[in-house]
Amino acid sequence: MGLLTQRRRTVLVAVLAAQRLAELGHSSLNRRRDPKAVPSSPRTYPAMVAAHVALFVTAGWPRRPRPIAVPVEAAALAGLAVAVCLRLAVIRELGQSWNVTAHVSPATEVVTSGPYSRLRHPNYTAVALEFACLPVAVGAVREAVWLSLTNAAVLWPRVRAEEALLDRLPGYREAFDGVPRFVPRPGRRSQMPHSVSQSRTLILSKPQ
């Protein structure tokens, strides 16, 4: 017998889905506070929504219980715990700048604290962990593979477009020079240049 019963698996999916809905509400509130923020990749957002819906539908779909090794299940649950903690840390560090639509405000201040001290995109690391670990935790191991591939295909153009805007913020490129995007490396830390004035703003043109 595994660590989770079928009922507990259902509860796990429901709790994570509820968290995602709460995040959408929080993101919408932040977006209304800064109407000048520029979307970095508006074309990828519908695909991202579809990928996340597929994740939760797949994880919550009634199926015959599939046996899964306890160490694998434990690792998946640990990965989910890390993802949740990482996402909450990102939301706390970014404050009102955090949103799910990858909008970047001209007045955004570069953040190098919390998970941003080690990663350029810790939120996307959390998302990747969810796509890999949630299906495995509920016994959908094969589905975890194609869901993770789908997530990667959606995120790659989004990350590139977002970085194109972030690089134009004062100090961003210097702060994250050599810092990995998704997986931390020993000795690689972000550092805010002392010469950067946080009061400066940059006019960002809306992408075509």
pLDDT at 67 (0 to 100): 79
CATH architecture of 6-175: Up-down Bundle (1.20)
pLDDT at 22: 96
pLDDT in the model for residue 106: 85
Give the pTM: 0.89
What is the block-wise mean pLDDT of the chain (208 residues), using blocks of 10 residues?
Answer: 84 96 95 90 93 96 81 96 97 95 90 96 97 95 96 95 93 93 94 59 48
Instruction: Sketch the domain layout of the chain as residue ranges.
Output: 6-175
Q: What is the pLDDT of residue 205?
A: 52
Q: Which three-class secondary structure string do you get for the chain?
A: CCCCCHHHHHHHHHHHHHHHHHHHHHHHHHHHHCCCCEECCHHHHHHHHHHHHHHHHHHHCCCCCCCCCHHHHHHHHHHHHHHHHHHHHHHHHHHHHCCCCCEECCCCCCCCCHHHHCCCCHHHHHHHHHHHHHHHHCCCHHHHHHHHHHHHHHHHHHHHHHHHHHCCCCCHHHHCCCCCCCCCCCCCCCCCCCCCCCCCCCCCCCCC
Specify the pLDDT at position 35. 87
